[in-house]
Each structure stands twice: as C-alpha cells, then as structure tokens.
Amino acid sequence: MPKKKPYQKKSFESTGAPNDTSANLYITMLMSPAWGDLTNNQRVLYTYCKAQLYAEKRKPEPDGYTGNRENLFTMNKTKWCTLYKLYDVNNGKGFYRDMNALIEKGFVECVECGRFTRTKSVYAYSDKWQEFN
C-alpha cells in the first residue's frame, strides 16, 4: 500500500510555513446549540485555544490528571494579550468571562488554575458541548 502524502496546505489557508498549525473546526460543532450560544469573542477565543492545542509541542503534566494528555493546552496573559492580541492588558475580566463561558458550555474544562499561583492555567478540551441544551 503506498504511503499517504501529508496534507498540503492551500494558499488561502496558510503562508506555507513549516511550523504552521491548524485549528480544525467541524460543522457538527459549528451548528450545535452550544456554539450558537457563544458570543463572537468567545468563538474567537476557542479558535485560538484550538491553535494553541496543536502548537504546544510539550504538553503540560498537571498533578492528578487522569484524562488524555493530548487534550491539554495552556493559556496565560502573555498568550491572550501579547501573542494573540485578543484582549487588552487591562482586560483580564474579559478573558476570564469568555473562558468561563467556554467551560460552562462544555467546550473546555479547567484542569489547573494558575491565576493565584502566577503560573500558566492548564485546560483540557471536552466533548460536553454535545450535551448542551
């Protein structure tokens, strides 16, 4: 059986940089009631979190976590403020409001909160959005 060629990025998807990552979104999620209940800012945050999931080469190792480590990603102020420019420096409340909405709707769960320890928060992707009414 011939070896399958790796996916070739299309010019409208990417600049073609070798270190480029994707953020796959499927129509069943986009058409779900949970996705429909998100604001546009929350949808954009989810998309950047998804890109972060695939961009992190070294996965975090939170204490006592028994789930799939492939679903883990980190997010901190440097990423959501400086790197991705999603929120202003003084708009931490906006980030936490939107991240809490992603948690409430079942897209993400907080595995380890770094807010008070001044460390990166660790999140995991969840499929609970499929049960959202």
Tell me how far CA of residue 52 lies from CA of 4, 20, 63, 125, in angstroms.
26, 11, 21, 11
Span 52-99, pLDDT tens digits: 877 777 777 787 788 888 889 888 788 888 888 889 888 888 999 999
Could you tell me the strand order of the sheet in which 72-75 lies?
A: 72-75, 121-125, 108-112
The CA-CA-CA angle for residues 12, 108, 59, to 5°, reads: 75
Q: CA of 103: how far to CAs of 13, 100, 106, 109, 127, in Å?
A: 28, 5, 5, 5, 11
pTM of the model: 0.85
Tens of pLDDT, residue by residue over 14-46, are 898 888 888 889 999 999 999 999 999 999 999
